[in-house]
Structure 1
Amino acid sequence: MKTTGNTVLITGGTSGIGKAFAQHFLGRGNTVIICGRRNDRLEELKARYPDLVTIQCDLIEAASRENLVRRAIQECPDLNMLINNAGIQLTADLTNPIDLSSVEREIVTNLIAPIHLSSLVVEQLRGRAEPAIVNISSGLAYTPIAFMPVYCATKAAVHSWSLSLRKQLENTGIRVYEIAPPSVDSELGHERRENRDQTHGGMPVNEFINEAIKALESNTLQAAIGQAASMMDQRDALFERLNSHF
Protein backbone atom coordinates (compact mmCIF):
# COMPACT_ATOMS: atom_id res chain seq x y z
CA MET A 1 0.00 0.00 0.00
CA LYS A 2 1.16 3.51 -0.69
CA THR A 3 0.73 5.75 2.35
CA THR A 4 0.89 9.09 0.52
CA GLY A 5 -1.60 10.75 -1.78
CA ASN A 6 -4.63 8.94 -0.37
CA THR A 7 -7.99 10.23 0.81
CA VAL A 8 -8.65 8.46 4.11
CA LEU A 9 -11.77 8.24 6.27
CA ILE A 10 -10.97 7.29 9.88
CA THR A 11 -13.66 6.46 12.42
CA GLY A 12 -13.01 7.32 16.05
CA GLY A 13 -10.45 9.88 14.92
CA THR A 14 -10.58 12.27 17.88
CA SER A 15 -8.42 10.25 20.28
CA GLY A 16 -6.03 7.34 20.68
CA ILE A 17 -5.16 5.19 17.69
CA GLY A 18 -7.57 6.99 15.36
CA LYS A 19 -6.16 10.42 16.16
CA ALA A 20 -2.60 9.12 15.74
CA PHE A 21 -3.48 7.59 12.36
CA ALA A 22 -4.98 10.94 11.31
CA GLN A 23 -1.87 12.86 12.35
CA HIS A 24 0.40 10.39 10.58
CA PHE A 25 -1.54 10.40 7.30
CA LEU A 26 -1.84 14.19 7.35
CA GLY A 27 1.92 14.41 7.81
CA ARG A 28 2.42 12.29 4.69
CA GLY A 29 0.35 14.52 2.46
CA ASN A 30 -2.89 12.58 2.50
CA THR A 31 -6.37 14.07 2.68
CA VAL A 32 -7.82 12.92 5.99
CA ILE A 33 -11.43 12.81 7.15
CA ILE A 34 -12.23 11.92 10.75
CA CYS A 35 -15.50 11.42 12.54
CA GLY A 36 -16.41 11.49 16.21
CA ARG A 37 -19.38 12.03 18.51
CA ARG A 38 -17.99 15.03 20.38
CA ASN A 39 -18.10 18.24 18.38
CA ASP A 40 -15.78 20.05 20.80
CA ARG A 41 -13.00 17.56 20.06
CA LEU A 42 -13.59 17.81 16.33
CA GLU A 43 -13.40 21.60 16.50
CA GLU A 44 -10.21 21.44 18.57
CA LEU A 45 -8.51 19.16 16.04
CA LYS A 46 -9.76 21.23 13.10
CA ALA A 47 -8.23 24.34 14.69
CA ARG A 48 -4.91 22.52 15.11
CA TYR A 49 -4.96 20.90 11.66
CA PRO A 50 -6.85 23.19 9.23
CA ASP A 51 -6.56 20.69 6.37
CA LEU A 52 -8.36 18.03 8.40
CA VAL A 53 -11.95 17.29 7.34
CA THR A 54 -14.20 16.65 10.34
CA ILE A 55 -17.70 15.17 10.41
CA GLN A 56 -19.75 14.67 13.55
CA CYS A 57 -21.20 11.16 13.66
CA ASP A 58 -22.76 8.81 16.18
CA LEU A 59 -21.84 5.38 14.89
CA ILE A 60 -24.61 3.82 16.97
CA GLU A 61 -27.19 5.22 14.55
CA ALA A 62 -27.50 3.74 11.04
CA ALA A 63 -28.70 7.05 9.61
CA SER A 64 -25.67 8.81 11.08
CA ARG A 65 -23.35 6.26 9.46
CA GLU A 66 -25.07 6.76 6.12
CA ASN A 67 -24.77 10.53 6.48
CA LEU A 68 -21.07 10.16 7.32
CA VAL A 69 -20.29 8.26 4.12
CA ARG A 70 -22.47 10.53 1.99
CA ARG A 71 -20.80 13.68 3.30
CA ALA A 72 -17.30 12.18 3.13
CA ILE A 73 -17.76 11.34 -0.56
CA GLN A 74 -19.36 14.70 -1.33
CA GLU A 75 -16.57 16.67 0.34
CA CYS A 76 -13.75 14.35 -0.74
CA PRO A 77 -14.76 12.56 -3.96
CA ASP A 78 -11.36 10.87 -4.25
CA LEU A 79 -11.94 8.82 -1.07
CA ASN A 80 -10.01 5.57 -1.48
CA MET A 81 -9.44 4.27 2.05
CA LEU A 82 -11.58 3.51 5.10
CA ILE A 83 -10.03 2.79 8.49
CA ASN A 84 -12.57 1.15 10.80
CA ASN A 85 -10.99 2.16 14.08
CA ALA A 86 -13.75 3.31 16.46
CA GLY A 87 -14.42 1.02 19.39
CA ILE A 88 -15.55 0.83 22.99
CA GLN A 89 -14.37 -1.59 25.66
CA LEU A 90 -16.66 -2.45 28.58
CA THR A 91 -16.80 -5.10 31.26
CA ALA A 92 -19.71 -7.51 31.62
CA ASP A 93 -20.61 -9.82 34.52
CA LEU A 94 -22.02 -12.92 32.84
CA THR A 95 -23.01 -14.45 36.18
CA ASN A 96 -25.89 -11.96 36.44
CA PRO A 97 -28.49 -10.50 34.05
CA ILE A 98 -26.61 -8.28 31.62
CA ASP A 99 -27.14 -4.59 30.92
CA LEU A 100 -28.55 -5.11 27.44
CA SER A 101 -28.16 -1.48 26.37
CA SER A 102 -24.41 -1.59 27.10
CA VAL A 103 -23.99 -4.87 25.25
CA GLU A 104 -25.89 -3.57 22.25
CA ARG A 105 -23.85 -0.34 22.20
CA GLU A 106 -20.60 -2.31 22.27
CA ILE A 107 -21.66 -4.71 19.52
CA VAL A 108 -22.98 -1.96 17.26
CA THR A 109 -19.91 0.26 17.68
CA ASN A 110 -17.30 -2.48 17.37
CA LEU A 111 -18.89 -4.76 14.78
CA ILE A 112 -22.09 -3.62 13.10
CA ALA A 113 -20.80 -0.12 12.34
CA PRO A 114 -17.65 -1.27 10.48
CA ILE A 115 -19.63 -3.89 8.56
CA HIS A 116 -22.19 -1.26 7.54
CA LEU A 117 -19.64 1.44 6.69
CA SER A 118 -17.56 -0.94 4.61
CA SER A 119 -20.62 -1.96 2.61
CA LEU A 120 -21.44 1.71 2.02
CA VAL A 121 -18.00 2.59 0.60
CA VAL A 122 -17.38 -0.42 -1.64
CA GLU A 123 -18.78 1.22 -4.77
CA GLN A 124 -16.84 4.41 -4.02
CA LEU A 125 -13.58 2.48 -3.59
CA ARG A 126 -14.02 0.28 -6.65
CA GLY A 127 -11.79 1.57 -9.42
CA ARG A 128 -9.90 4.07 -7.25
CA ALA A 129 -6.11 4.00 -7.02
CA GLU A 130 -4.89 1.79 -4.15
CA PRO A 131 -8.34 1.26 -2.59
CA ALA A 132 -8.30 -0.24 0.89
CA ILE A 133 -10.36 -1.05 3.95
CA VAL A 134 -8.34 -1.30 7.18
CA ASN A 135 -10.04 -3.01 10.12
CA ILE A 136 -8.64 -2.55 13.62
CA SER A 137 -9.23 -5.74 15.60
CA SER A 138 -7.23 -6.66 18.72
CA GLY A 139 -4.91 -9.22 20.20
CA LEU A 140 -7.94 -9.99 22.38
CA ALA A 141 -9.66 -11.36 19.28
CA TYR A 142 -7.38 -14.38 19.68
CA THR A 143 -6.87 -14.53 23.46
CA PRO A 144 -9.87 -13.04 25.29
CA ILE A 145 -9.90 -11.57 28.78
CA ALA A 146 -12.94 -12.98 30.53
CA PHE A 147 -14.10 -9.78 32.27
CA MET A 148 -14.45 -8.04 28.87
CA PRO A 149 -16.31 -10.83 27.07
CA VAL A 150 -18.35 -8.75 24.64
CA TYR A 151 -15.42 -6.60 23.53
CA CYS A 152 -13.27 -9.68 22.90
CA ALA A 153 -16.11 -11.42 21.05
CA THR A 154 -16.67 -8.40 18.79
CA LYS A 155 -12.99 -8.26 17.92
CA ALA A 156 -12.96 -11.99 17.15
CA ALA A 157 -15.92 -11.31 14.88
CA VAL A 158 -14.05 -8.42 13.21
CA HIS A 159 -11.23 -10.87 12.44
CA SER A 160 -13.63 -13.44 10.97
CA TRP A 161 -15.55 -10.83 8.98
CA SER A 162 -12.29 -9.36 7.64
CA LEU A 163 -11.39 -12.77 6.20
CA SER A 164 -14.77 -13.03 4.47
CA LEU A 165 -14.68 -9.43 3.25
CA ARG A 166 -11.19 -9.94 1.81
CA LYS A 167 -12.36 -13.06 -0.02
CA GLN A 168 -15.48 -11.41 -1.43
CA LEU A 169 -13.55 -8.33 -2.61
CA GLU A 170 -10.51 -10.14 -4.00
CA ASN A 171 -11.50 -9.46 -7.61
CA THR A 172 -12.44 -5.80 -7.07
CA GLY A 173 -8.94 -4.44 -6.45
CA ILE A 174 -9.94 -3.40 -2.92
CA ARG A 175 -7.46 -4.70 -0.37
CA VAL A 176 -8.73 -5.58 3.10
CA TYR A 177 -6.23 -5.26 5.94
CA GLU A 178 -6.60 -6.32 9.55
CA ILE A 179 -4.38 -4.71 12.17
CA ALA A 180 -4.50 -6.30 15.63
CA PRO A 181 -3.10 -3.98 18.31
CA PRO A 182 -1.78 -5.09 21.67
CA SER A 183 -2.67 -3.02 24.72
CA VAL A 184 -2.00 0.54 23.50
CA ASP A 185 -1.67 3.64 25.68
CA SER A 186 -4.97 5.31 24.80
CA GLU A 187 -8.38 6.20 26.22
CA LEU A 188 -9.91 2.89 25.16
CA GLY A 189 -11.92 1.50 28.05
CA HIS A 190 -12.16 4.82 29.89
CA GLU A 191 -15.91 4.24 30.31
CA ARG A 192 -15.18 1.46 32.80
CA ARG A 193 -12.56 3.36 34.84
CA GLU A 194 -13.24 5.60 37.83
CA ASN A 195 -10.75 8.16 36.51
CA ARG A 196 -11.85 8.67 32.91
CA ASP A 197 -8.75 10.72 32.16
CA GLN A 198 -6.55 7.70 32.89
CA THR A 199 -5.07 6.09 29.78
CA HIS A 200 -5.15 2.44 28.85
CA GLY A 201 -1.47 1.71 29.40
CA GLY A 202 0.61 -0.47 27.11
CA MET A 203 2.50 0.28 23.91
CA PRO A 204 2.95 4.01 23.17
CA VAL A 205 0.51 5.09 20.48
CA ASN A 206 3.18 6.41 18.10
CA GLU A 207 5.16 3.18 18.38
CA PHE A 208 2.05 1.23 17.46
CA ILE A 209 1.29 3.53 14.52
CA ASN A 210 4.82 3.13 13.16
CA GLU A 211 4.49 -0.66 13.25
CA ALA A 212 1.01 -0.55 11.72
CA ILE A 213 2.21 1.68 8.86
CA LYS A 214 5.10 -0.70 8.19
CA ALA A 215 2.60 -3.55 7.91
CA LEU A 216 0.42 -1.58 5.49
CA GLU A 217 3.37 -0.49 3.35
CA SER A 218 4.54 -4.10 3.08
CA ASN A 219 0.99 -5.22 2.14
CA THR A 220 0.75 -7.47 5.19
CA LEU A 221 -2.97 -8.17 5.07
CA GLN A 222 -3.17 -9.52 8.62
CA ALA A 223 -0.75 -7.97 11.10
CA ALA A 224 -0.63 -8.56 14.84
CA ILE A 225 1.49 -5.86 16.46
CA GLY A 226 3.71 -6.30 19.53
CA GLN A 227 2.27 -8.62 22.16
CA ALA A 228 -0.77 -9.24 19.96
CA ALA A 229 1.44 -11.52 17.86
CA SER A 230 2.00 -13.91 20.76
CA MET A 231 -1.68 -13.63 21.69
CA MET A 232 -2.45 -14.98 18.24
CA ASP A 233 0.27 -17.63 18.18
CA GLN A 234 0.02 -18.89 21.78
CA ARG A 235 -3.64 -18.29 22.48
CA ASP A 236 -4.44 -21.29 24.69
CA ALA A 237 -1.53 -20.90 27.10
CA LEU A 238 -1.96 -17.14 27.29
CA PHE A 239 -5.69 -17.44 27.93
CA GLU A 240 -4.98 -19.38 31.13
CA ARG A 241 -2.29 -16.89 32.17
CA LEU A 242 -4.37 -13.77 31.47
CA ASN A 243 -7.39 -15.17 33.30
CA SER A 244 -5.66 -16.90 36.19
CA HIS A 245 -6.87 -14.27 38.66
CA PHE A 246 -10.36 -13.89 37.27
Structure 2
Amino acid sequence: MKLTGNTIFITGGGSGIGCALAEQLHKLGNKVIISGRRKGHLDRVVAANPGMEAVELDVADLKSIQSMASMLIAKYPDLNVLFNNAGIMLPDQAAGAIDEELLTSTVTTNLLGPVRLTSALIDQLKKTKGTVIYNTSVLAFVPLSLTAVYSATKAALHSYALSQRFLLEKSGVRVLEIAPPWVRTDLMNSQEAAEAMPLDEFIAETMQVLGTDADEIVVERAKPLRANPGPSEHAFVNGLNDHMLALFSGAAGA
Protein backbone atom coordinates (compact mmCIF):
# COMPACT_ATOMS: atom_id res chain seq x y z
CA MET A 1 0.00 0.00 0.00
CA LYS A 2 1.15 3.52 -0.73
CA LEU A 3 1.68 5.16 2.67
CA THR A 4 1.53 8.83 1.66
CA GLY A 5 -0.89 11.12 -0.13
CA ASN A 6 -4.04 9.33 1.06
CA THR A 7 -7.30 10.46 2.60
CA ILE A 8 -7.98 7.84 5.26
CA PHE A 9 -11.04 7.11 7.39
CA ILE A 10 -10.34 4.96 10.46
CA THR A 11 -13.04 3.57 12.74
CA GLY A 12 -12.20 2.99 16.38
CA GLY A 13 -9.43 5.58 16.13
CA GLY A 14 -9.74 6.94 19.64
CA SER A 15 -7.53 4.32 21.31
CA GLY A 16 -5.42 1.21 20.84
CA ILE A 17 -4.30 -0.01 17.43
CA GLY A 18 -6.59 2.37 15.53
CA CYS A 19 -5.24 5.42 17.33
CA ALA A 20 -1.60 4.34 16.99
CA LEU A 21 -1.91 3.64 13.26
CA ALA A 22 -3.83 6.88 12.74
CA GLU A 23 -0.99 8.83 14.35
CA GLN A 24 1.67 7.10 12.26
CA LEU A 25 -0.24 7.67 9.02
CA HIS A 26 -0.88 11.28 10.00
CA LYS A 27 2.85 11.85 10.54
CA LEU A 28 3.46 10.64 6.99
CA GLY A 29 1.34 13.49 5.63
CA ASN A 30 -1.92 11.65 4.97
CA LYS A 31 -5.27 13.29 5.65
CA VAL A 32 -6.62 11.19 8.52
CA ILE A 33 -10.17 11.21 9.85
CA ILE A 34 -10.82 9.04 12.89
CA SER A 35 -14.13 7.95 14.33
CA GLY A 36 -15.46 6.33 17.48
CA ARG A 37 -18.21 6.46 20.06
CA ARG A 38 -16.25 8.21 22.82
CA LYS A 39 -15.93 11.92 22.04
CA GLY A 40 -13.42 12.50 24.84
CA HIS A 41 -11.00 9.96 23.37
CA LEU A 42 -11.37 11.41 19.89
CA ASP A 43 -10.80 14.96 21.15
CA ARG A 44 -7.58 13.95 22.91
CA VAL A 45 -6.19 12.26 19.80
CA VAL A 46 -7.02 15.23 17.56
CA ALA A 47 -5.55 17.70 20.05
CA ALA A 48 -2.29 15.75 20.05
CA ASN A 49 -2.21 15.57 16.23
CA PRO A 50 -3.01 18.98 14.67
CA GLY A 51 -4.62 18.58 11.27
CA MET A 52 -6.24 15.25 12.08
CA GLU A 53 -10.06 15.28 12.19
CA ALA A 54 -12.57 13.24 14.15
CA VAL A 55 -16.26 12.35 13.90
CA GLU A 56 -18.49 10.37 16.21
CA LEU A 57 -19.74 7.08 14.77
CA ASP A 58 -21.39 4.00 16.22
CA VAL A 59 -20.60 1.18 13.78
CA ALA A 60 -23.36 -0.88 15.42
CA ASP A 61 -25.96 1.62 14.18
CA LEU A 62 -26.95 1.28 10.51
CA LYS A 63 -28.43 4.79 10.30
CA SER A 64 -25.25 6.24 11.79
CA ILE A 65 -23.19 4.41 9.18
CA GLN A 66 -25.39 5.61 6.31
CA SER A 67 -25.32 9.27 7.36
CA MET A 68 -21.57 9.10 8.02
CA ALA A 69 -20.89 7.64 4.59
CA SER A 70 -22.87 10.40 2.89
CA MET A 71 -20.99 13.05 4.84
CA LEU A 72 -17.59 11.55 4.09
CA ILE A 73 -18.26 11.31 0.36
CA ALA A 74 -19.44 14.93 0.24
CA LYS A 75 -16.74 16.44 2.47
CA TYR A 76 -13.77 14.32 1.38
CA PRO A 77 -14.08 13.62 -2.36
CA ASP A 78 -10.52 12.23 -2.36
CA LEU A 79 -11.29 9.60 0.29
CA ASN A 80 -9.40 6.51 -0.84
CA VAL A 81 -8.69 4.40 2.25
CA LEU A 82 -11.22 2.86 4.63
CA PHE A 83 -9.74 1.18 7.70
CA ASN A 84 -12.35 -0.94 9.50
CA ASN A 85 -10.73 -1.11 12.91
CA ALA A 86 -13.52 -0.69 15.49
CA GLY A 87 -14.35 -3.79 17.49
CA ILE A 88 -15.29 -5.12 20.91
CA MET A 89 -13.93 -8.15 22.73
CA LEU A 90 -15.69 -9.62 25.76
CA PRO A 91 -15.37 -12.97 27.55
CA ASP A 92 -18.26 -15.36 26.93
CA GLN A 93 -19.41 -18.87 27.81
CA ALA A 94 -19.62 -21.02 24.68
CA ALA A 95 -20.07 -24.09 26.92
CA GLY A 96 -23.28 -22.64 28.33
CA ALA A 97 -26.00 -20.14 27.54
CA ILE A 98 -24.57 -17.19 25.60
CA ASP A 99 -25.66 -13.79 26.84
CA GLU A 100 -27.93 -12.41 24.11
CA GLU A 101 -26.81 -8.81 24.48
CA LEU A 102 -23.13 -9.80 24.26
CA LEU A 103 -23.80 -11.97 21.21
CA THR A 104 -25.77 -9.31 19.36
CA SER A 105 -23.46 -6.39 20.15
CA THR A 106 -20.30 -8.33 19.26
CA VAL A 107 -21.61 -9.63 15.94
CA THR A 108 -23.13 -6.25 15.04
CA THR A 109 -20.00 -4.27 15.89
CA ASN A 110 -17.31 -6.66 14.66
CA LEU A 111 -18.94 -8.12 11.56
CA LEU A 112 -22.03 -6.23 10.42
CA GLY A 113 -20.43 -2.84 11.07
CA PRO A 114 -17.40 -3.31 8.77
CA VAL A 115 -19.50 -4.99 6.07
CA ARG A 116 -22.10 -2.22 6.15
CA LEU A 117 -19.59 0.62 6.20
CA THR A 118 -17.58 -0.85 3.34
CA SER A 119 -20.77 -1.37 1.38
CA ALA A 120 -21.75 2.26 1.93
CA LEU A 121 -18.37 3.55 0.71
CA ILE A 122 -17.45 1.00 -1.96
CA ASP A 123 -18.57 3.14 -4.92
CA GLN A 124 -16.45 6.02 -3.60
CA LEU A 125 -13.45 3.72 -3.25
CA LYS A 126 -13.95 2.44 -6.79
CA LYS A 127 -13.80 6.03 -8.04
CA THR A 128 -10.54 6.71 -6.22
CA LYS A 129 -9.02 3.26 -6.85
CA GLY A 130 -8.76 2.99 -3.11
CA THR A 131 -8.09 0.47 -0.37
CA VAL A 132 -10.25 -1.31 2.18
CA ILE A 133 -8.47 -2.54 5.31
CA TYR A 134 -9.99 -4.92 7.84
CA ASN A 135 -8.50 -5.38 11.29
CA THR A 136 -9.20 -9.01 12.12
CA SER A 137 -7.07 -11.07 14.52
CA VAL A 138 -4.98 -14.22 14.71
CA LEU A 139 -7.99 -15.52 16.63
CA ALA A 140 -9.67 -15.80 13.23
CA PHE A 141 -7.34 -18.76 12.69
CA VAL A 142 -6.78 -20.00 16.25
CA PRO A 143 -9.94 -19.22 18.25
CA LEU A 144 -9.69 -18.37 21.93
CA SER A 145 -12.33 -20.34 23.84
CA LEU A 146 -12.69 -17.56 26.42
CA THR A 147 -13.93 -15.23 23.67
CA ALA A 148 -15.59 -17.64 21.27
CA VAL A 149 -18.02 -15.10 19.78
CA TYR A 150 -15.28 -12.53 19.18
CA SER A 151 -13.07 -15.18 17.56
CA ALA A 152 -15.96 -16.29 15.33
CA THR A 153 -16.64 -12.72 14.14
CA LYS A 154 -13.00 -12.30 13.17
CA ALA A 155 -13.02 -15.61 11.27
CA ALA A 156 -16.14 -14.47 9.43
CA LEU A 157 -14.56 -11.10 8.59
CA HIS A 158 -11.47 -12.86 7.23
CA SER A 159 -13.69 -15.00 5.02
CA TYR A 160 -15.59 -11.94 3.81
CA ALA A 161 -12.34 -10.15 2.96
CA LEU A 162 -11.22 -13.10 0.84
CA SER A 163 -14.43 -13.01 -1.19
CA GLN A 164 -14.38 -9.25 -1.54
CA ARG A 165 -10.73 -9.22 -2.63
CA PHE A 166 -11.53 -11.72 -5.37
CA LEU A 167 -14.58 -9.81 -6.59
CA LEU A 168 -12.78 -6.45 -6.62
CA GLU A 169 -9.62 -7.74 -8.28
CA LYS A 170 -10.25 -5.88 -11.55
CA SER A 171 -11.82 -2.77 -10.02
CA GLY A 172 -8.63 -1.12 -8.82
CA VAL A 173 -9.74 -1.45 -5.18
CA ARG A 174 -7.39 -3.39 -2.90
CA VAL A 175 -8.64 -5.35 0.10
CA LEU A 176 -6.11 -5.75 2.90
CA GLU A 177 -6.30 -7.57 6.21
CA ILE A 178 -4.32 -6.84 9.35
CA ALA A 179 -4.31 -9.86 11.68
CA PRO A 180 -2.75 -8.78 14.99
CA PRO A 181 -1.48 -11.14 17.67
CA TRP A 182 -2.20 -10.37 21.31
CA VAL A 183 -1.25 -6.69 21.66
CA ARG A 184 -1.10 -4.48 24.75
CA THR A 185 -4.31 -2.45 24.33
CA ASP A 186 -7.56 -1.85 26.23
CA LEU A 187 -9.10 -5.05 24.85
CA MET A 188 -9.46 -7.55 27.69
CA ASN A 189 -7.41 -5.16 29.87
CA SER A 190 -4.22 -6.23 28.11
CA GLN A 191 -2.14 -3.08 28.67
CA GLU A 192 0.12 -4.80 31.20
CA ALA A 193 -0.02 -8.37 29.87
CA ALA A 194 3.52 -9.72 29.80
CA GLU A 195 2.86 -12.13 26.93
CA ALA A 196 1.16 -9.51 24.77
CA MET A 197 3.17 -7.65 22.11
CA PRO A 198 4.01 -4.05 23.04
CA LEU A 199 1.84 -1.71 20.99
CA ASP A 200 4.73 0.38 19.67
CA GLU A 201 6.54 -2.74 18.42
CA PHE A 202 3.40 -4.00 16.73
CA ILE A 203 2.76 -0.66 15.03
CA ALA A 204 6.35 -0.32 13.79
CA GLU A 205 6.36 -3.80 12.23
CA THR A 206 2.84 -3.41 10.86
CA MET A 207 3.69 -0.12 9.14
CA GLN A 208 6.69 -1.78 7.55
CA VAL A 209 4.59 -4.60 6.08
CA LEU A 210 1.71 -2.27 5.21
CA GLY A 211 4.07 -0.38 2.91
CA THR A 212 4.60 -3.49 0.77
CA ASP A 213 2.31 -5.23 -1.72
CA ALA A 214 1.12 -7.77 0.89
CA ASP A 215 -2.61 -8.45 1.07
CA GLU A 216 -2.29 -9.76 4.63
CA ILE A 217 -0.33 -7.75 7.16
CA VAL A 218 0.94 -10.32 9.65
CA VAL A 219 3.81 -9.54 12.01
CA GLU A 220 6.40 -12.22 12.76
CA ARG A 221 4.92 -13.04 16.15
CA ALA A 222 1.54 -13.78 14.53
CA LYS A 223 2.77 -16.01 11.70
CA PRO A 224 2.70 -19.38 13.56
CA LEU A 225 -0.96 -18.80 14.44
CA ARG A 226 -1.83 -17.61 10.92
CA ALA A 227 -0.25 -20.79 9.52
CA ASN A 228 -2.18 -23.11 11.83
CA PRO A 229 -5.42 -23.96 9.94
CA GLY A 230 -5.30 -27.41 8.38
CA PRO A 231 -5.85 -31.10 9.17
CA SER A 232 -3.98 -30.87 12.49
CA GLU A 233 -5.29 -27.50 13.65
CA HIS A 234 -7.16 -28.86 16.68
CA ALA A 235 -3.99 -29.80 18.56
CA PHE A 236 -2.61 -26.27 18.24
CA VAL A 237 -5.96 -24.71 19.19
CA ASN A 238 -6.34 -26.94 22.23
CA GLY A 239 -2.78 -26.28 23.35
CA LEU A 240 -3.21 -22.52 23.04
CA ASN A 241 -6.45 -22.59 25.00
CA ASP A 242 -4.99 -24.76 27.78
CA HIS A 243 -2.19 -22.22 28.10
CA MET A 244 -4.49 -19.17 28.05
CA LEU A 245 -6.96 -20.66 30.52
CA ALA A 246 -4.09 -21.32 32.92
CA LEU A 247 -2.74 -17.82 32.36
CA PHE A 248 -6.07 -16.09 33.01
CA SER A 249 -6.86 -18.34 35.97
CA GLY A 250 -3.52 -17.43 37.49
CA ALA A 251 -4.14 -13.74 36.94
CA ALA A 252 -7.58 -13.99 38.52
CA GLY A 253 -6.16 -15.71 41.57
CA ALA A 254 -3.28 -13.29 42.03
Do the structures match in fold with TM over 0.5?
A: yes
- Partner of 2:169 in structure 1? 170
Q: Which residue does the alignment assign to 1:206?
A: 200
Contact 1:189 1:200 in 2 (8 A): no
Over residues 22-43 of structure 1, what are the superposed CA-to-partner deviations in whole Å (9 max), with x where a residue is unaligned?
A: 1001100000010010111122
Find the aligned partners of 1:223 and 1:63 in 2 and give their Cα distance. Answer: 31
Deviation at 1:107, TM superposition (A): 0.6
Change (3 A) 1:85 1:14: same
Q: Are residues 1:143 and 2:118 paired?
A: no
The whole-number CA distance in structure 1 between the counterparts of 2:162 and 2:5 is: 27
For residue 164 of structure 1, what is the amino acid of its counterpart? S
Q: What letter is aligned with 2:65? A: R
The answer on 1:189 being equivalent to 2:188 is: yes
The amino acid across from 2:12 in the alignment is G
Q: Paired residue for 2:239?
A: 241
- Following superposition, the deviation at residue 200 of structure 1 comes to 6.3
Per-residue CA deviation, residues 198-226 of structure 1 (Å, 9 max, x unaligned), is 62631122221222222222110023223
The 1-side partners of 2:217 and 2:51 are apart by: 30
SS in 2 for 1:55: strand
Consecutive aligned runs of 4 or more in structure 1 exceeding 3 Å deviation: none
Aligned to 1:54, the other structure's residue is in SS state strand
Q: Which residue of 2 aligns with 1:132?
A: 131
The total of aligned residue pairs comes to: 238
Counterpart CA distance in 2 for 1:135 and 1:208 is 16
Q: Would the aligned equivalents of 1:88 and 1:189 in 2 still touch at CA under 8 Å?
A: no
Q: Which moved more, 1:216-225 or 1:113-122?
A: 216-225
SS in 1 for 2:145: coil
The one-letter code sitting in structure 2 at the alignment partner of 1:212 is T
Distance 1:164 1:54 in 2: 30
Say if 2:59 and 2:114, in contact at 8 Å, map to a contact too.
Answer: no
Name the residue aligned to 1:193. none
In structure 1, runs of 5+ residues without a counterpart are 191-197
- d(CA) in 2 for partners of 1:55, 1:88: 19
Conserved 8 A contact 2:11-2:84: yes
Task: Provide the rounded CA distance (Å) in 1 between the counterparts of 2:91 and 2:103.
Answer: 9
What is the aligned partner in structure 1 of residue 38 from structure 2? 38
Aligned with 1:221 (options 212, 215, 224): 215
In terms of mean alpha carbon deviation, does 95-104 or 29-38 score higher? 95-104
TM-score, length-normalised on structure 2?
0.89
Q: Does the aligned pair in 1 maintain the 2:19–2:45 contact within 8 Å?
A: no
Maintained 8 Å contact 1:12/1:35: yes
C-alpha separation in 1, matches of 2:103 and 2:192: 21
Letter in 2 for 1:144: P
AA matched with 1:146: S
Name the counterpart of 1:5.
5
Q: Distance in 2 between matches of 1:206 and 1:140?
A: 21
User: What amino acid does structure 2 have at the position aligned with 1:150?
Assistant: V
Q: Distance in 1 between matches of 2:147 and 2:26?
A: 33
Q: TM-score, normalised by structure 1?
A: 0.92
* CA–CA distance in structure 1, aligned partners of residues 106 and 220 of structure 2: 25
Q: SS state of the match for residue 147, structure 1?
A: helix
Offset of residue 95 of structure 1: 3.0
Q: Distance in 1 between matches of 2:29 and 2:131?
A: 17
Q: Distance in 1 between matches of 2:211 and 2:172?
A: 16
1:242 is aligned with what amino acid? L
